[in-house]
Amino acid sequence: MKRGAAVFFLVLMILLSGCNSSDYKKAGQLFNGGSYERALTMYQKLGDYKDSADQVPVCLERLGSETMAASKYKEAYIWYTQLLNYPEYRDTASEGLYEIGKNAIETKNWSLAVGCFSKIPTYENSQELLRRSKGMKSGSNFADSAFLEDAASAAISRVRASAANEKHRLVLMEQGYIEKYRTSEFYDSSLKEIAVRYSDVLRQELVASGIKDTAGQVAWLQSEVERYAVLNVLYRDYGLCADSTPFINCYIDGYDALKTSRDGFAAIDADVQSQVSSGKISARLDSNSVTLTLTNNTEYTYDLKVRFSFSYKVKGADRTLETVDALVRDITPGRTYKVKGARTSKSASATDFSFVWEYENIRAQ
């Protein structure tokens, strides 16, 4: 009886070994054919047979990357979560969950975002993203979500506003979206700081819009650069208007050009002001025209528009008879150039003139 039982056990072991060998081979074929989930199931059933246990995380990694590439983020989340249990694959799993979490933020799937970042709290800035996602998930007690929606509406509305609109009106329009968030409660303290900064910049713009000389233009450009900087942070860290071509074209792609205009405007204005105040500018007034001769001492190329006013004095006060505009294009660094304003019969009796100027199409060499 004992000998019969031993023989039966030996036969059973041989049969099981044959089954394991067949299943192991089949699992390999499934894996090589791209059927990773079926291969995973077979390797898990095989347990410690050969290197079956080592093949399990390989299957999980393939399933994670494959579903991620297909934008099946919830499925990828499941596979990468399981992959975290394997120390040698922890970095790969963490990277996958981090990317899924960022996508979840962009699509406002706060539950999935919380799930991802809570599993990788020490990976990059997951702790901050987790805190932000929890806040957004928590509901209407915080202004985070509403602010981002209004910031997007404000920025896009200003892009679409007619260029003919006055600066003052444009700022007031944008303030209508943003100003209220100065006193709102935010879950994300960093987002609160951005909201207050956004409001500060618009207040600066409102002041600058009321200054009519070139100092006001410099202040306006500086405020514009700061407004673009705020929107760049919201785009980069919070996905603001990430799918909006007008927003990206204006505020992201146009950011460097705006900074060039700001820096160039300040340099050019300082140069022209210096020539005017020091008397280095050459001016000639005759019956037909007035001509100014200047030199571009900056590193920028620009267009200069000058408005001449011809006048004479009446009881000690200037009386303007005529204004004319003149434009000189493509003034390159080092160039000495002339700006000529032609007079008509309207200003034939003028004995004096004044002028104001503005710069256009500023670009660095």
pLDDT value at residue 19: 66
Q: For residues 12 and 8, what is the distance between their CA atoms, to the nearest angstrom?
A: 6
Note the pLDDT of residue 8. 42
Domains of the chain: 24-137 (1.25.40), 144-253 (no CATH), 278-364 (2.60.40.10)
Tell me the pTM: 0.55
Q: How high is the pLDDT of residue 152?
A: 94
The pLDDT assigned to 7 comes to 45
Average pLDDT, the chain: 86
pLDDT tier at 104 (50, 70, 90 boundaries)? very high
pLDDT at 11: 44
pLDDT at residue 155 tops 90:
yes
> Distance between CA atoms of 177 and 112, rounded to whole angstroms?
29
Band of pLDDT at residue 166, cut at 50, 70 and 90: confident
Average pLDDT over residues 215-243: 91
End-to-end CA distance of the chain: 100
pLDDT of 231 over the 90 cut: yes
Contact 68, 96 (CB under 8 A): yes
Report pLDDT for 76. Answer: 94
* pLDDT of residue 163 exceeding 50: yes
What pLDDT is stored for residue 50 in this prediction? Answer: 85
Q: What is the pLDDT of residues 299-353, one digit of tens each?
A: 989 998 988 888 887 776 778 888 889 999 999 999 999 998 888 888 777 778 8
Residue-wise pLDDT tens digits, 30-63: 899 989 999 999 999 988 888 889 999 999 999 9
Place of tokens 């393939």: 62
Does the structure show a pLDDT above 50 at 1? no
Q: What is the pLDDT of residue 9?
A: 45
Counting residues of the chain whose pLDDT is more than 70, the rounded percentage is 92
pLDDT tier for residue 17 given thresholds of 50, 70 and 90: low
Q: Which pLDDT value is given to residue 14?
A: 47
The whole-number average pLDDT for the span 161-169 is 72
SS (H, E, C) the chain: CHHHHHHHHHHHHHHHHHHHHHHHHHHHHHHHCCCHHHHHHHHHHHCCCCCHHHHHHHHHHHHHHHHHHCCCHHHHHHHHHHHCCCHHHHHHHHHHHHHHHHHHHHCCCHHHHHHHHHHCCCCCCHHHHHHHHHHHHCCCCCCHHHHHHHHHHHHHHHHHCCCCCCHHHHHHHHHHHHHHHHHCCCCCHHHHHHHHHHHHHHHHHHHHCCCCCHHHHHHHHHHHHHHHHHHHHHHHHHCCCCCCHHHHHHHHCCHHHHHHHHHHHHHHHHHHHHHHHHCCCEEEECCCEEEEEEECCCCEEEEEEEEEEEEEEECCEEEEEEEEEEEEEEECCCCEEEEEEECCHHHCCCCEEEEEEEEEEEEEC
146 pLDDT above the threshold of 90? no
Q: What is the pLDDT of residue 206?
A: 92
**pLDDT tens per residue, range 239-271:** 899 889 999 999 999 999 899 888 888 898 889
